[in-house]
Amino acid sequence: MHNIYARFNGVSGLWSTCLIALAVAITLSSFVFTADPKGKVDLASLKVFHTKAKRYPYKQEELGFVKFNITADLRPLFNWNTKQLFVYLEAEYTNAQGVNNTVVVWDRIVRRKEDANIVQSPKNKYKLRELSRSFKNVSPAEFSLKYNVMPYVGVLTYGEAARTASFDMPEALDAVS
C-alpha cells in the first residue's frame, strides 16, 4: 500500500494542522478575556537640577528627578495565557520647539500574579532629560502608568492603568555633584 514515508507525511501533516488550529484558538481566546485594571499614580515631588553633561563637560544641561507613589492592582490581567507583564511610568510633554516627547522614567517586569498588586514609592529609574538641555518653556507634563501584556501565544496588548493631572516643570535648582 503506502510506504513508511507516506504514512509519516500524513500523520505529521495532521499533527501540525491540529497544533496550528490550537494556537489560533488560544490567540482568539486572548481577545475574549479582556481586563481593565485600575491604578493610581501620585507625584510626590518633581525637581529639576542644573548639571554638567557627561560627554561635554563644558556644557550645562538640566535633569529632572521624580518621586511618585504607585498603587495598582494588575492581577486581573493574568490568565492562563499571560507569561509576564511589563509595567512602566511614562512622562509626556511638549518641548519649546513643539515636539511631543515621551520618556519612560520607571519600569518593572511582573512575572507572577502574586506580584501584580503594586504598591510602591520609588524614584525615577531613568533620567528625565530634555534633548535641548533645558526644561524652559516646556508644556506641563503628564505621567501615566502603562502596561504591556506578553502572552505565551498571541499578540502583545498594551493598556493604561492610571494617569496624573498635568504638572508644570519647576525652575532648575543649583548643580548636582
> What's this model's pTM, rounded to 2 decimal places?
0.78
For residue 133, is pLDDT > 60? yes
Element holding 31 (H helix, E strand): helix 4-32
State pLDDT tens for residues 51-94: 776 766 777 777 778 888 899 999 998 888 889 999 999 988 88
State pLDDT tens for residues 101-128: 888 999 999 999 999 888 888 888 888 8
Query: Helix, strand or coil for residue 34?
Result: coil
Residue type for position 130: E
* Confidence band of 29 (pLDDT split at 50, 70, 90): confident
